[in-house]
Structure 1
Amino acid sequence: MAPVAIKICGLSTEATVAAAIAAGADLVGFVHFEKSPRHVSLDRGRVLSAQAKGLAERVVLLIDPDDTLVAAAVQALDPDWIQLHGRESPDRVAAIRAMTGRRVMKALGIATRADLAQVAAYAATADRLLLDAKPPPGADLPGGNGHAFDWDLLVGADLPATYMLSGGLTPDNVAEALARTGARAVDVSSGVETRPGEKSPERMAAFVAAVRI
């Protein structure tokens, strides 16, 4: 069986990109969303993505982007993946995938079992689903809030084998999350930070080590 895939998202400096890759991240994510403490401009994203090319799969995270932004992000970062973390519909996911020729990862917020009802429609158009904790009411950020959802909601659910588990994962709880869900891919951002937007090389290494025990 292939090892669990690890995505470290919200990288914003050359040093932390290097540290994430050195730790063993399979995917590295760059957030282009101005409200986020992890936001990088497209020019910064271009530099960081180029640094990671050939060393890890590169993901650009966008939220409800229009076609102009999608095209600009692809031109700047040349990503392997586009992660959509807003309210994009399945049709919009399919349109972005067709327009760019890039693989698309769609984040879905989960708080109750009813939230899993949307999985089938998105699984038909996205290359991968990222199951994240639904943000609390009034939150500025659709992800990266450091909250986990009840992993037991996924027990017995009809999920694509490639889904990625996200939301509140840390070096201390990721092994339990994997044991309870059977997920084969995980995504971390705030759980490897010392403060919002500031990645810790030590925490990133500890997270990868916890997954790869």
Structure 2
Amino acid sequence: MTDKLPVRTKICGLTRVKDVQCAVAAGADAIGLVFYAPSPRAVSIEKARSLLTVVTPFVQVAGLFVNATVSEIQQVLAQVSLDILQLHGDETPIQCAEIGQATGRRWIKALAVKPDSNMTQLIEHYVAAGASGILLDAWHPQLKGGTGQTFDWNSWPQALGQTVPLILAGGLTPDNVADAIAQTHPYAVDVSGGVEQEKGIKDHQLIRQFMQGVQRG
């Protein structure tokens, strides 16, 4: 990894075909579908299958799961073609490794950045277990992602970012994404609420503006 590589972009929490089409047309490298029933952005297997009909080649599809069992994930994979799993709950490194081995899918672990956490150590544990990347998000006592809040970007583990694909999430918007990229130099950025009219309903102008911000960054 070097800073010369373009920053990748994932648009997460998509629930409508036209929003997927907009994200793809705007240049998103990946889209995210939420398979976590309590989330207002959750999709059913039937809805997910309809959304995938408009995903073009070379755009990856990530499935977001929160404390799901291997069986639950396999049930989704049997009907929905996902390229990578995004594990957003309290999964331990061992549990993540087991999920990856059982499903044959690469996985990303999402970690909430808490002021009192040793993030470097946590990241290293998940990477050792086989993580393809680590997503760093803002911490919230109840929510599992989609908080709309940023964390202190000064705490970004720059040294690890040279060897581990680190994905920046949490409170990103068209207005701040360029600055966020310039400060952290992430492998990728992940946005959901920052490009929405309301939860699960994307604003197409905001998606395009966000992608322009990524290019500036």
TM range (shorter): over 0.9
Q: CA deviation at 1:55?
A: 4.5
CA distance in 1, matches of 2:40, 2:6: 30
Asked if the contact 1:109/1:115 (under 8 Å) is kept, the reply is: no
Deviates more, 1:173-182 or 1:155-164: 155-164
Letter aligned with residue 153 of structure 1:
S
Contact 2:7 2:187 in 1 (8 A): yes
Q: Please, what is the CA RMSD of the aligned residues? A: 1.4
Task: Report the residue type matching 1:87 in the other structure.
Answer: D
Counterpart-to-counterpart distance in 2, 1:85 and 1:143? 7
Pairing 1:133–2:133 present: no
Q: Is the 8 A contact 1:6 1:185 kept in 2?
A: yes
- 2:44 maps to what in 1? 41
Deviations 1:164-201 (A, max 9, x none): 00000000001111111111210000000011111111
Number of the residue aligned with 2:156: 154
In structure 2, give the amino acid aligned to 1:10.
Answer: G
Q: Is 1:177 paired with 2:215?
A: no
* Partner deviation per Cα, 1:98-134 (whole Å, 9 max, x = no partner): 1111110110000226240311101122111101111
Structure 1 length normalisation: TM-score? Answer: 0.94
Q: Compared with structure 1, are the counterparts of its residues 53 and 69 closer, same or farther at alpha carbon in structure 2 (3 Å cutoff)? A: farther
Q: Given the alignment of the two structures, is residue 143 of structure 1 paired with residue 148 of structure 2, yes or no?
A: no
Q: Which residue in the other structure is 1:32 paired with?
A: 35
SS at match of 1:58: strand
1:68 and 2:85 correspond: no
Partner Cα separation in structure 1 for residue 124 and residue 65 of structure 2: 22
**3-state SS of paired residue (2:101):** helix
Deviation of 1:47 after TM superposition, in Å, equals 1.8
Is the CA contact (8 Å cut-off) linking 1:33 and 1:63 kept in structure 2? yes
Q: For the residues of structure 2 that align with 1:161 and 1:127, how far apart are their CA atoms?
A: 8
Amino acid at match of 1:127: S
Count of aligned positions:
210
Name the stretch that deviates more: 41-50 or 3-12. Answer: 41-50
**Pair 1:32–1:155, CA change in 2 (3 A):** closer
Matched, 1:86 2:86: no
1:168 match: 171
Q: Gaps (5+ residues) in structure 2? A: none
Distance 2:64 2:52 in 1: 12
Q: How far is 1:161 from its partner?
A: 3.5
Find the aligned partners of 1:157 and 1:2 in 2 and give their Cα distance. Answer: 17
1:187 corresponding residue in structure 2: 190
Question: Would you say the 8 A contact 1:49–1:79 is kept in 2?
Answer: no
- Give the Cα separation in 2 of the matches to 1:187 and 1:94: 23
Describe the SS at the equivalent of 2:62.
Answer: strand
1:206 counterpart = 2:188: no
- Provide Cα deviations, 1:125-147, integer angstroms capped at 9, x if missing partner: 21111011111x2x2x2100101
Which 4+ residue blocks in structure 1 deviate beyond 6 angstroms? none
